[in-house]
Amino acid sequence: MQEEGAAREAEPTEPEQIRAEIEETREELGETVEALAEKADVKSQAKAKVDERKQVLKEKQQELKGKASDLPRRAREVKPEDAKRMASQAAETARARPGPTMAATLVLALLLLRLFRRD
C-alpha cells in the first residue's frame, strides 16, 4: 500500500504539468529522430567528406602556387658555386641510381616539350 501511495505522489497530477512533460518528451524524441536520420544519410555524409577534401586540396593548391611564384626570384639568387655543387650532387645521384634518374629526365623532357608547344 505504501508503494502505491508513493507511486501516486511521483506521478504528475496537474494537467499543465502532464502537458509540459509530454511536450518535453516530444522535443527529445524529435531530436533523437533527427540525429538518427543524419547518421543514416550516407549520401550527405559522403558529400560532406568530398567538400572537406576539396577545401583541403584548394588550400594545398594555394600554398603550392605561392611557392611556385617565388621560384623565379630564388633561381635568380642562386650563385654559380651553389649551382655547380647541386649539379655535382645530381650527377652522383644519377650514377648511383640510373633508373629513377632516367624516369625523372623523361618526365622533365615531356613537361618542357609541352610548355614549348604552347608558345
- What spatial distance separates the first Cα and last Cα of the chain, rounded to whole Å? 99
pTM (2 d.p.):
0.36
At 27 the pLDDT is 94
Q: How does pLDDT run across 39-73, given as a tens digit for each residue? A: 888 888 888 899 999 999 999 999 888 888 887 88
Q: State the Cα angle at 80 between 71 and 110, rounded to 5°.
A: 50
- Tens-digit pLDDT profile for residues 65-113: 888 888 788 777 778 887 788 888 888 888 888 888 888 888 888 888 8
On whether the CB atoms of residues 21 and 12 are closer than 8 A, the answer is yes
**pLDDT tens digits along 2-31:** 555 444 555 656 888 989 999 999 999 999
| pLDDT recorded at residue 119 | 57
The C-alpha cell of 41 is what? 544519410
Number of residues written out for the chain? 119
Judge whether 18 and 12 are in contact, CB under 8 Å.
yes
Residue 93's contacts (CB-CB under 8 Å, 6 or more residues apart) are 101
Provide the 3-class DSSP secondary structure of residue 13: coil
Give the pLDDT confidence score for residue 1 in this predicted structure. Answer: 45
For 26, 52, 87, 107, 111, the CA distances from 103, given in Å and listed in that order, are 66, 34, 18, 6, 12
